[in-house]
Amino acid sequence: MRRLLFIIITLLLVGTVSRKSFEGRWESCYSTPGGNYLMDLDSQPLWKRPNLPSFTEFTEHFSNTSLPGSGEISVYHKWDLWLLDVLMIWLIGSLVITPISLLASRRDPALGVFARVGAGLITSAITCFLLWLIFGGWGPPAPLFFAFIGLGAGGIWAAAYAKKAKEKAE
Protein backbone atom coordinates (compact mmCIF):
# COMPACT_ATOMS: atom_id res chain seq x y z
CA MET A 1 0.00 0.00 0.00
CA ARG A 2 2.84 2.39 0.86
CA ARG A 3 4.50 1.61 -2.46
CA LEU A 4 1.30 2.43 -4.35
CA LEU A 5 0.89 5.69 -2.42
CA PHE A 6 4.50 6.59 -3.21
CA ILE A 7 4.00 5.84 -6.92
CA ILE A 8 0.82 7.93 -7.10
CA ILE A 9 2.36 10.91 -5.29
CA THR A 10 5.53 10.68 -7.38
CA LEU A 11 3.56 10.60 -10.64
CA LEU A 12 1.50 13.60 -9.55
CA LEU A 13 4.63 15.56 -8.63
CA VAL A 14 6.49 14.61 -11.81
CA GLY A 15 3.44 15.56 -13.88
CA THR A 16 3.07 18.92 -12.16
CA VAL A 17 6.77 19.75 -12.43
CA SER A 18 6.82 18.65 -16.09
CA ARG A 19 3.81 20.81 -16.92
CA LYS A 20 5.29 23.83 -15.17
CA SER A 21 8.72 23.21 -16.68
CA PHE A 22 7.39 23.68 -20.20
CA GLU A 23 5.37 26.81 -19.41
CA GLY A 24 7.17 30.12 -19.67
CA ARG A 25 6.70 33.42 -17.88
CA TRP A 26 7.21 36.17 -20.42
CA GLU A 27 7.76 39.90 -20.04
CA SER A 28 7.92 42.72 -22.54
CA CYS A 29 10.21 45.72 -22.15
CA TYR A 30 9.85 49.13 -23.74
CA SER A 31 13.36 50.59 -23.54
CA THR A 32 13.93 54.33 -23.82
CA PRO A 33 16.95 56.47 -22.95
CA GLY A 34 14.98 57.71 -19.93
CA GLY A 35 14.16 54.26 -18.53
CA ASN A 36 12.49 50.92 -19.08
CA TYR A 37 8.81 50.07 -18.90
CA LEU A 38 8.02 46.42 -18.15
CA MET A 39 4.77 44.65 -18.93
CA ASP A 40 3.96 41.05 -17.92
CA LEU A 41 2.63 38.89 -20.72
CA ASP A 42 0.49 35.77 -20.55
CA SER A 43 2.20 32.48 -19.72
CA GLN A 44 3.00 30.52 -22.86
CA PRO A 45 4.99 27.39 -23.68
CA LEU A 46 8.76 27.92 -23.73
CA TRP A 47 8.94 27.14 -27.44
CA LYS A 48 6.17 29.64 -28.35
CA ARG A 49 7.51 33.14 -27.88
CA PRO A 50 4.67 35.70 -27.60
CA ASN A 51 4.25 38.37 -30.25
CA LEU A 52 5.76 41.79 -29.60
CA PRO A 53 3.16 44.10 -28.10
CA SER A 54 2.54 47.33 -29.98
CA PHE A 55 3.34 50.81 -28.73
CA THR A 56 -0.42 51.33 -28.31
CA GLU A 57 -0.60 48.36 -25.91
CA PHE A 58 2.18 49.92 -23.82
CA THR A 59 0.43 53.30 -23.71
CA GLU A 60 -2.81 51.58 -22.64
CA HIS A 61 -0.96 49.58 -19.97
CA PHE A 62 0.87 52.68 -18.66
CA SER A 63 -2.08 55.07 -18.99
CA ASN A 64 -0.87 57.30 -16.12
CA THR A 65 2.50 57.89 -17.80
CA SER A 66 3.28 59.61 -21.07
CA LEU A 67 5.65 57.29 -22.91
CA PRO A 68 8.23 58.78 -25.25
CA GLY A 69 7.70 57.68 -28.84
CA SER A 70 11.29 56.66 -29.53
CA GLY A 71 11.82 53.34 -27.83
CA GLU A 72 12.56 49.71 -28.55
CA ILE A 73 10.17 46.89 -27.65
CA SER A 74 11.53 43.46 -26.75
CA VAL A 75 10.14 40.25 -25.27
CA TYR A 76 12.10 37.92 -23.02
CA HIS A 77 11.57 34.90 -20.82
CA LYS A 78 11.86 35.42 -17.06
CA TRP A 79 14.13 32.45 -16.27
CA ASP A 80 14.55 33.35 -12.60
CA LEU A 81 10.82 33.26 -11.89
CA TRP A 82 10.42 30.11 -13.99
CA LEU A 83 13.11 28.32 -11.96
CA LEU A 84 11.59 29.61 -8.73
CA ASP A 85 8.19 28.21 -9.78
CA VAL A 86 9.68 24.77 -10.45
CA LEU A 87 11.54 24.80 -7.12
CA MET A 88 8.39 25.90 -5.28
CA ILE A 89 6.51 22.91 -6.71
CA TRP A 90 9.33 20.68 -5.46
CA LEU A 91 9.11 22.41 -2.07
CA ILE A 92 5.36 21.82 -1.82
CA GLY A 93 5.80 18.22 -2.94
CA SER A 94 8.50 17.77 -0.33
CA LEU A 95 6.10 18.89 2.37
CA VAL A 96 4.05 15.80 1.46
CA ILE A 97 6.87 13.35 0.66
CA THR A 98 9.25 14.12 3.55
CA PRO A 99 6.92 13.09 6.41
CA ILE A 100 5.95 9.91 4.53
CA SER A 101 9.61 9.03 4.05
CA LEU A 102 10.64 9.77 7.61
CA LEU A 103 7.68 7.88 9.12
CA ALA A 104 7.96 4.82 6.88
CA SER A 105 9.39 1.81 8.65
CA ARG A 106 11.03 0.46 5.47
CA ARG A 107 13.21 3.11 3.87
CA ASP A 108 13.03 3.61 0.12
CA PRO A 109 16.35 5.01 -1.22
CA ALA A 110 14.75 7.10 -3.99
CA LEU A 111 12.15 8.49 -1.61
CA GLY A 112 14.85 9.21 0.96
CA VAL A 113 16.98 11.17 -1.52
CA PHE A 114 13.98 13.15 -2.79
CA ALA A 115 12.84 13.87 0.77
CA ARG A 116 16.26 15.04 1.94
CA VAL A 117 16.72 17.42 -0.98
CA GLY A 118 13.19 18.64 -0.30
CA ALA A 119 13.98 19.08 3.39
CA GLY A 120 16.91 21.29 2.36
CA LEU A 121 14.50 23.37 0.24
CA ILE A 122 12.02 23.58 3.12
CA THR A 123 14.73 24.75 5.53
CA SER A 124 16.00 27.38 3.10
CA ALA A 125 12.46 28.62 2.38
CA ILE A 126 11.80 29.03 6.10
CA THR A 127 15.13 30.87 6.50
CA CYS A 128 14.29 33.17 3.58
CA PHE A 129 10.83 33.87 5.01
CA LEU A 130 12.19 34.59 8.50
CA LEU A 131 14.78 37.01 7.09
CA TRP A 132 11.99 38.74 5.19
CA LEU A 133 9.98 39.09 8.42
CA ILE A 134 12.98 40.35 10.39
CA PHE A 135 14.27 42.87 7.85
CA GLY A 136 11.00 43.71 6.05
CA GLY A 137 10.88 44.89 2.50
CA TRP A 138 8.77 44.35 -0.59
CA GLY A 139 9.63 40.72 -1.13
CA PRO A 140 11.65 37.84 0.26
CA PRO A 141 15.41 38.42 0.10
CA ALA A 142 17.00 36.52 -2.80
CA PRO A 143 14.69 33.48 -2.96
CA LEU A 144 16.76 31.81 -5.70
CA PHE A 145 19.92 32.18 -3.64
CA PHE A 146 18.28 30.41 -0.71
CA ALA A 147 16.76 27.79 -3.03
CA PHE A 148 20.22 26.89 -4.36
CA ILE A 149 21.62 26.76 -0.81
CA GLY A 150 18.74 24.42 0.10
CA LEU A 151 19.37 22.27 -2.97
CA GLY A 152 23.07 22.08 -2.15
CA ALA A 153 22.60 21.26 1.54
CA GLY A 154 19.83 18.78 0.78
CA GLY A 155 21.93 17.25 -1.99
CA ILE A 156 24.88 16.75 0.36
CA TRP A 157 22.57 15.18 2.95
CA ALA A 158 20.98 12.99 0.24
CA ALA A 159 24.40 11.84 -1.03
CA ALA A 160 25.45 10.89 2.51
CA TYR A 161 22.14 9.07 2.98
CA ALA A 162 22.51 7.19 -0.33
CA LYS A 163 26.08 6.17 0.54
CA LYS A 164 24.98 4.96 3.97
CA ALA A 165 22.03 3.04 2.47
CA LYS A 166 24.33 1.41 -0.10
CA GLU A 167 26.81 0.35 2.58
CA LYS A 168 23.98 -1.02 4.70
CA ALA A 169 22.63 -3.02 1.74
CA GLU A 170 26.02 -4.66 1.11
Residue of 13, 1, 11 lying closest to 94 (CA atoms): 13
DSSP state of 104: -
Identify whether the C-beta of residue 5 lies closer than 8 Å to the C-beta of residue 100: yes
Rounded to an integer, the average pLDDT of 139-154 is 82
Identify whether the C-beta of residue 105 lies closer than 8 Å to the C-beta of residue 126: no
Q: Where are the domains of the chain?
A: 24-77, 81-169
pLDDT exceeds 80 at position 132: yes
Q: What is the pLDDT of residues 93-122, one digit of tens each?
A: 777 776 766 666 556 677 777 778 888 888
DSSP state of 52: P
Q: pTM of the predicted model, to two decimals?
A: 0.61
Q: How far apart are CA 4 and CA 6, in angstroms?
A: 5
Span between the terminal Cα atoms of the chain, in Å:
26
For 116, counting Cβ atoms within 10 Å of its Cβ (0-12 exposed, 13-18 middle, 19+ buried), the class is buried
Q: What is the pLDDT of residues 2-13, one digit of tens each?
A: 667 767 777 777
Q: What is the pLDDT of residues 37-82, one digit of tens each?
A: 888 888 888 888 888 888 888 888 887 777 777 888 889 888 877 8
